[in-house]
Amino acid sequence: MTSLSPAQPAPRGAAAPRVTAIDAARGVAIAAMVIYHLCWDLDHLGFASFDLFGHPAWLAARTAILSSFLLLVGVGLALAGARGVDRRRFLRRLGLLVLAAAAVSAASWMLFPDSPIVFGVLHHIALASVLGLAALRLPTAAVIAAGVLVLALPRLAGPVPAFDAPALRWIGLMSFEPSSNDYVPLIPWFGAVLLGIVLGRLWLRHAPAAAPPPGGAVGALAWAGRYSLPIYLLHQPVLFGTLWLAAALIVPGDPAADAFARSCRTSCETGGTNAAACADFCACAAEDLQRAGLWSAVTQNRLDDARRPLVDAVVAACAAGTPR
């Protein structure tokens, strides 16, 4: 097989010039991610209704956005490796990723203690950046084979209960989906990074001649791609905070109550109960949870082991009194 590696790398440690097309592609991924999270926020706060975790189109959108980020991680590794990896620059970038991932985990533990982000996309990118260095030493055929194998492992191996242990869940191959707002395990997603390395080598062989800096939409996307990490870290607090304030000031009633009612009715009706009965059940649950002093814990996702049985008892009592 013909090698896709560059014939002659640039001097080791030389500063790599920005590649506008790749920055713009990363900017497209960032824009798609912001739109997806905006839809999540709108759904969560009651401004709209999106079946983000059930409809095939939404599931495909999430997969496409995540895959594009990880492919571009591989492309970036290939481009950096072609010039000789600058250890200081690499370690600085890795340190920023680790700190950002730790910040995301800490914030998620405070906001969503029942579904914290333990190994999300930033955690994955940090680990994949290290593992990807080893892949840069492999011939292209081996990288392709490894990428395809990692992507196929969940189907080939199936669920492996040994990986259900909390300390091993970052690997993947679990027998259940963990409760997390962002879960990007090594398997199968590292396969996308490996295939991104192949795409990067293809780019190095067939890259077009340098072009002047673009303007307009392409220039804006390239700018977003260059600052993808701070945009990733800041966009959700800005979006969610703004929409939450708007819900509190503009939307009549309690936004938390509206979100609870919508989520409760959707879950109830999915189980086959008619809409009127579900409305009665959800109204009963909301009233009794408030009376029992459990409302804030439920709506803010702050249930602990002591209060969870109390919530279950409230739900069971309302369900028993609701005609089916």
Q: Is the pTM of this model over 0.95?
A: no
Residue 257: HSE in the Cβ half-sphere, 13 Å Cα cutoff = 14
pLDDT value of residue 274: 84
Domain ranges of the chain: 51-211, 253-320
How does pLDDT run across 183-199, given as a tens digit for each residue? 999 999 999 999 999 99
pLDDT per residue as tens, the chain (324 positions): 333 433 334 444 444 567 888 999 999 999 999 999 999 888 877 788 788 877 899 999 999 999 999 999 999 999 888 877 788 888 999 999 999 999 999 988 887 777 788 999 999 999 999 999 999 999 999 999 999 999 999 999 888 888 988 889 999 998 888 878 889 999 999 999 999 999 999 988 887 666 666 678 888 998 998 999 999 999 988 998 898 888 777 655 566 677 788 788 888 877 778 888 888 888 898 888 888 877 777 776 666 677 788 888 888 888 887 554
Instruction: Estimate to the nearest angstrom the gap between the alpha carbon of 113 and the chain centroid.
Output: 17
Q: How far apart are CA 303 and CA 295, in angstroms?
A: 10
Contact present, 225 and 101 (Cβ < 8 Å) = no
Q: How far apart are CA 74 and CA 191, in angstroms?
A: 10
Q: Residue 130: is it exposed, middle or buried by C-beta count within 10 angstroms (0-12/13-18/19+)?
A: exposed
pLDDT value of residue 300: 64
pLDDT value of residue 32: 95
Tokens for 220? 């804006």
Compute the chain's Rg from CA coordinates: 23
φ, ψ (nearest 5 deg) of residue 70 = -70, -35
Tokens for 187? 């398997």
Q: 69 to each of 154, 185, 259, how far by Cα in Å? A: 21, 14, 31
Q: How far apart are CA 129 and CA 194, in angstroms?
A: 10
- H or E segment to which residue 97 belongs: helix 87-111
Q: How far apart are CA 120 and CA 118, in angstroms?
A: 6
